[in-house]
Amino acid sequence: MEGGEKLDRSVWPLVLAAAVFSVALVSANYLSAKLFLVEIPGLITLVGPAGVVAYSVTFIVTDVVSEVYGRRAAGAVVAAGFASQIVALFLTGVAIASPTAPFSPVQQEEYAKVVMAGFNIIVASLAAYVVSQYHDVWAFHFWKKMTGGRWLWLRNNLSTWVSQLIDTVVFLSLAFYIIPLLSPEASRVEPVSLSTLWAMIYSQYIIKLGIAVLDTPVVYLGVHLVKNYIEGGLQVQPRMLGIITGR
C-alpha cells in the first residue's frame, strides 16, 4: 500500500477472520493443558481438553470464509493458522529457554509444564490440524456444489462433523497411542490401552459434535454480517484474492 492508499473494504473481514482463527488455534493448544470432566450419573462420563471450545471456533471461521470468499481464501486462512502454530512454538521455546528470576511468581518447571506440550502432543496436533482443516474446506465446497449453493446449515454441519471426527481420531491416536508406542523416550508417556483410547475418542467427539450443532446460527450470523459489510458478497472474491496474492 503506497501513499496512504486504502485497502479494499472486502479485505477487512478476511483479515479479522484470519486473526480470530489464529488466536483460537494457538489458544486451544495452551488451554488444553487442563482436562475437564462432565458426568451424568448412570448415563455417560465425558472427559475433554479445556481448549475444545477454542478449537471449535476455527471451524466456524473457515465455514464463514468459505461461504463468502471461496475455497482458496479459506485454504489461505488454514495455511496462516499452521504458520501461527509454528511461530508460537518458536516463541514458546525462547520463553522457556530464558533464565528464570529467583523472585518469579512462576518457576521454570511449572511454567514449562503448562506452556510447552510434549513431543507427542505437538506432532499429533499439527498432523490432525492439517488433515482436518483442509478436509473441512474441501467438504464444505463439495456439499455446496452438491446442493447447488442451498442449505448452508447442511454443508456447515456435514463438513464440520466429519472434520471433527478426523481431528479427534488422528490427534488422540497419534498423541496417546502411536507415537508413545513408537518413541516412548521422545513422548515421555506410556501408550494408553485401546479401550482407553476408544473412550477418549468417543468422549471428545460427542463434545465436539454438540458444539458443531450449536454453532450453526453463529455461522449464519457471520456470513450475514460479512456480506452486508463488504456490500458485494461473493462478487468480491476475484478482486479480494488479487489483493492477497499480489496479482
Average pLDDT, stretch 132-147? 93
Question: Residue 43 falls within a domain, yes or no?
Answer: yes
Question: Residue 79 falls within a domain, yes or no?
Answer: yes
Burial class (CB in 10 A: 0-12, 13-18, 19+), 72: middle
Question: Residue 178 falls within a domain, yes or no?
Answer: no
Give the model confidence (pLDDT) of 158-175 as tens digits.
Answer: 999 999 999 999 988 998
Task: Write down the pLDDT at residue 187.
Answer: 67
* 60 vs 235, more confident: 60
Question: Residue 107 falls within a domain, yes or no?
Answer: yes
Binned at pLDDT 50, 70 and 90, residue 10 comes out as: confident
**Domain region containing 78:** 10-119+192-235
Give the model confidence (pLDDT) of 202-232 as tens digits.
Answer: 888 988 888 888 899 999 999 999 999 886 5
Distance CA 122, CA 221 (A): 33
The rounded Cα 217 to chain-centroid distance in angstroms is 19
Q: How many domains does the chain have?
A: 1
Give the model confidence (pLDDT) of 91-119 as tens digits.
Answer: 988 988 899 898 888 888 888 777 777 77
Give the model confidence (pLDDT) of 49-67 as tens digits.
Answer: 788 889 889 999 999 999 9
Question: Residue 30 falls within a domain, yes or no?
Answer: yes
Alpha helices in 117-173 (DSSP H): 119-146, 152-173
Binned at pLDDT 50, 70 and 90, residue 46 comes out as: confident
Average pLDDT, stretch 150-164? 92
Q: For all residues of the chain together, what is the average pLDDT?
A: 84
Question: Residue 231 falls within a domain, yes or no?
Answer: yes
Question: Residue 221 falls within a domain, yes or no?
Answer: yes
Question: Residue 46 falls within a domain, yes or no?
Answer: yes
